[in-house]
Structure 1
Amino acid sequence: MVAAVLVALAAAVPAAASPRVVGGERASIVEYPWVVYLTDSTGFQFCGGTVVAATKVLTAAHCLANQRADNLRVVVGREDKRTTDGRVVNAQSVWVSPNYRGDPTGGSDFAVITLSRRVNVPALPLASDNTLYQPNAMATVLGWGMTKESGEASEYLMQAAVPLDSDTACTAAYQQYRASAMVCAGYQQGGVDTCQGDSGGPLEINGVLVGITSFGDGCARPGKYGVYTRVASYVTAIEGELDR
């Protein structure tokens, strides 16, 4: 995440990558075994994702809109990017929401990666209705992205706690915000957020995936919340891909 325009550009140029965890702390892959990161064939990490079935990873459409499956790798079970822990799994195929129009601010910012082999980690359940989307509900964001705007990407998995914000607050922050497609989270004063490199990663509440890191204006700026794809709005389409 970065300015919304920059996030969209990041998808077109993987080396520039997309949205972040600012104001967070190190997280344990043992506690969050379903969080993964995406690399190209050279090992460059550009986005995150979530294991949602034994051979399926859910991520943001803007992460994959210009990616070929044969150039895509999913790193599972690796907390520290400098190690060889876990495993690197090739992508077998990539499915991007047909309603995604090349800009995360337009909604439908979700995609499913089918892996070339099963991974032995628990899948994170998907939000199936709007019960969990209550203003001020505390959520967890995770990723290996930048720890400050225009900074360096983290070598370690990072986590941060952020409250969901009201649709009124989100609309005031972003004229493109649509409650039917998105949810936003963060603090009015800023300071805690996702950032470049975190796009596609999870926003979870009580062990349920409620959002996918999508876009924002900068990283942890006052009054500029992180915006996430509202998983419950697309759960039928997502689950349809999990059965393939």
Structure 2
Amino acid sequence: MAETLRRLRSWLVVLGAALLLPVSGISAASAQPTTDSGVSPMIVGGTRASTSQYPWVVYLATSSGSQYCGGTLVAPNKVVTAAHCTVGDSASAVRVVAGRDDKNSTAGVVARVNKIWIHPSYRTATQGYDVSVLTLDRNLNYATLPFATSADTGLYAAGTSATILGWGTTSSGGSASRYLLKASVPVVSSTSCTSSYGTSYKSAHMVCAGYTQGGTDTCQGDSGGPLVAGGKLIGITSWGQGCASAGYPGVYARVSAYATEIQAQINA
């Protein structure tokens, strides 16, 4: 099985992947901005969204402005994202863009990153611990999103309606969206997710969301972005088999499992 990390790197990384061919099934897609004619109204199977409604959703960009991952503002100067979005990166090379629906616009704020924290147990997304916290160079004047803790087990119940958001590709290996997109997906039981992914799915560290028939999902470039239910961040877009494939829901880092570590970074 070839798991797909749902991220979209910069031109340099994409070029390297194209020359070397995909490794371990990781899809590499172009990071160039799309034009109006190339915009599809899907995250995969979604619709346009606005940061005025979701002010805490942000995206990660290179110093040249290319978006490659998503994130969630959980404190005025703290962003939760996926570890596989930041591993190997220096803080000075990362930008966090808030309040910008259209990646081609200059709306919102572009913040620099002073510190990158990656869970010390992180090795690969499919082993779990796919969580990272960025400390920004300033406080952002946007609403923050509370995150799930061990007391929020009900938010992980199978069938719970959750929202996914991102600027990633609108099909596996396809073009990135110019605009912020959203969709609703149901949380999937651990039993069902294990049936799909076997031992790669670890219920203590992950949660699945998606439809049995597929059709709606996060995809490359959405990594690090939020899975939201009950007004809280319950998941971090992490990995999956392709995008929106029947029988293979998206896999998200289970935020409640890392609440203590995230809070420690907020307090740091």
Instruction: State the TM-score, normalized to the length of structure 2.
Output: 0.86
Structure 1 position 28, deviation (Å): 1.3
Structure 2 match to 1:182: 206
Structure 1 position 224, deviation (Å): 0.6
Code of the aligned partner of 2:177: S
1:146 and 2:144 matched: no
1:127 and 2:167 matched: no
Q: Is the contact between residue 35 and residue 49 of structure 1 (CA under 8 Å) also seen in structure 2?
A: yes
Separation in 1, partners of 2:247, 2:183:
18
CA offset digits 1:5-43 (Å, max 9, x no partner):
x4289679754479x920000011111000000011111
Max radius of gyration: which structure? 2
Q: Which segments of 5 or more consecutive residues in structure 2 lack a partner in the other structure?
A: 15-27, 31-41
Q: Is the contact between residue 210 and residue 249 of structure 2 (CA under 8 Å) also seen in structure 1?
A: yes
Structure 1 match to 2:103: 81
Structure 2 match to 1:95: 117
Trace 1:1-244 onto structure 2 (pairs within 5 A): 3-4=2-3, 6-7=4-5, 14-15=13-14, 16=28, 21-101=43-123, 103-129=124-150, 130-175=153-198, 176-244=200-268
Q: Which segments of 5 or more consecutive residues in structure 1 lack a partner in the other structure?
A: none
Separation in 2, partners of 1:109, 1:88:
24
- Structure 1's consecutive aligned runs of 4 or more residues displaced over 6 angstroms after TM superposition are 8-13
Superposition RMSD on alpha carbons, in Å?
2.0
Q: Is the contact between residue 11 and residue 64 of structure 1 (CA under 8 Å) also seen in structure 2?
A: no
- CA distance 1:3–1:57, shift in 2 (3 Å): farther
Code of the aligned partner of 2:145: L
Which stretch shows the higher mean deviation, 7-16 or 233-242? Answer: 7-16
CA offset digits 1:190-216 (Å, max 9, x no partner):
000000000000000121000000000
User: How many residues are paired up?
Assistant: 240
Separation in 2, partners of 1:14, 1:60:
18
Separation in 2, partners of 1:8, 1:199:
5
CA offset digits 1:57-115 (Å, max 9, x no partner):
000000000211010000000001111000110111101000101x1000000000000
